[in-house]
Structure formats: C-alpha cells, structure tokens
Amino acid sequence: MEPCRVGARAEPVGLAADHEPQPTLDLTMQEMCISYTVDDAQAWFIRMKATSKKRTPSIVNLTVKRRYLTEREVERLMDCARKYGRYGHRDATMILVAYRHGLRASEVCDLQWQQIELSEGRLHVHRVKNGIASVHPIRGDEMRALRKLRRDYPTDAHVFVSERGGPISPIGFHRLIQRLGEATNMPFPIHPHMLRHACGFKLANDGHDTRALQHYLGHKNIQHTVRYTELSPDRFKDFWRG
C-alpha cells in the first residue's frame, strides 16, 4: 500500500508551539490513512466488478469438447476415405490400424511390415515415450485390409507409404484426419490422437480389465489408463434399478 500523503504540515512542538498556534486539522493522520485505504479499495472493487462482467463465461466456454471419437465416427471416416481419397484403401486401413491398436500418429507412421505376422495374425507394437511394447491380435477385417495393402505395396518396408515411396509423416496423417473430419461434417475439429483415445474408451466401455488395458495402450503409469474407465458411461448403468 502506498504511504499516506497529507497536504498539511505537522504541528510544531516545543516553545514554537506556544507562540505560533496552528490551525486544527479536521482529520487525524490515522483517520486520513483509513479514509484513503477504504477509498482505494472501493475503486479497485469497482474496476474488478466492471472487468468481471466482460469475463462472464458463456455456454460455449463451459462446454467440454470431446477428446475421442465414437466407433461409428471412426467408421464414417473410413467410409469417406474409401469413397473420395486417391489412396482410399491405404488411408482407411491406416485409420483402422491406429484405432484398433491405440497407436499414436508417430507409431502408425513408423509401422513396418516386419512388425506384422500376417500368417499368425499378430502385430508387434513398438511404443514411443518409453511406453510398454506388446503383441496385439489382428482381427479378420483388419487382416484382410492389410493383406490387400501388402499386395498393393509388395516391396516397401513401411506399411503406409506416400506417393514418393517413403513413410507418411505424422503431419501428413494429421492433415488427412483433418480433411476427412471436415468432409464428414464432424461437429468439432479432429486430430489423429482422438483415434487412440477412441480405442481406450471403446475397450473400457466393453468392460476390459484396467490393468490389461494399460498394457494394451502401453502406459507406464496406470493413472493414464484410469481416465478411460472414469469417463465410461457404462460404469453407472446399474444405478437406479430396483
């Protein structure tokens, strides 16, 4: 707080006080300091009140945007990729693999054929961020899509390659998902990591064990996995049943 400044000189003391009477102040120093402090606080409160009106949250600000896609939304993206993309089968398969195995953009872009055992139906998942590596099963529709993709690209080391023959970059995958989201009229902007979240929520809603889900997604810390079960709508499905 700034020191009080009073526009009056102090009352003299000693002999000078007896011979030079001074005018009496209406307020003492303490009263003037209190008055200054109260006035300053009132001015500050008025300013903050006016500012708070400008910061009043709207309904849009309070709306929590979803961080994942539903299974049906993933299917819509794949259908759109098949129908309108120049490399429709490759793009749809990339989305399917990222969704089924909860892959990050960098993980699906770096995926190589040596990680896939088509004869055994197994996928060796290598995680980034020091995640836990694991072996996932490959189901029928995914197996057929990968077999067809292998026939289309018989000599490439990477599973998903661009026109130039190299692996698709994470930025390229991000742009692909963004374009498909706009083409399918998604109600909000989407990005590749939503496919990983979609996998976690789907498996959690299906009732799979949290510890098994942790290893499936490669989480070092189980707290990263618990969020999928905490937001699962099925955890309250038996509430209010007589």
**Annotated catalytic sites, by residue?**
104, 129, 193, 196, 219, 228
225, 214 in Cβ contact below 8 A? yes
Measured in Å, how far apart are the chain's first and last C-alpha atoms?
63
Secondary structure element (H or E) that encloses residue 216, with its range: helix 210-217
pLDDT higher at 33 or 234? 234
- Phi-psi sector, 128: left (phi>0), alpha (psi -120 to 50), beta: beta
Q: Averaged over 158-186, what is the pLDDT?
A: 95
Q: Can you give the C-alpha Rg of the chain in angstroms?
A: 33
How many helices (H) and strands (E) would you count in the chain?
A: 11, 3
Is the pLDDT score of 16 beyond 70?
no
Q: What is the pTM of this model?
A: 0.70
Q: What is the pLDDT of residues 109-159, one digit of tens each?
A: 999 999 999 999 999 999 998 899 999 999 999 999 999 999 999 999 999
Buried b (16+ CB within 10 A) or exposed e, 50-59: eeeeeeeeee
Query: In the prediction, which pLDDT does 38 show?
Result: 55
Backbone angles phi, psi at 137, to 5 degrees: -75, 150
Least confident of 2-11, 108-117, 156-165, 167-176: 2-11
Q: What are the structure tokens assigned to 19, written together? A: 């011979």
The residues, ordered by sequence, that sit 6+ positions from 237 with a Cβ below 8 Å of its Cβ are none
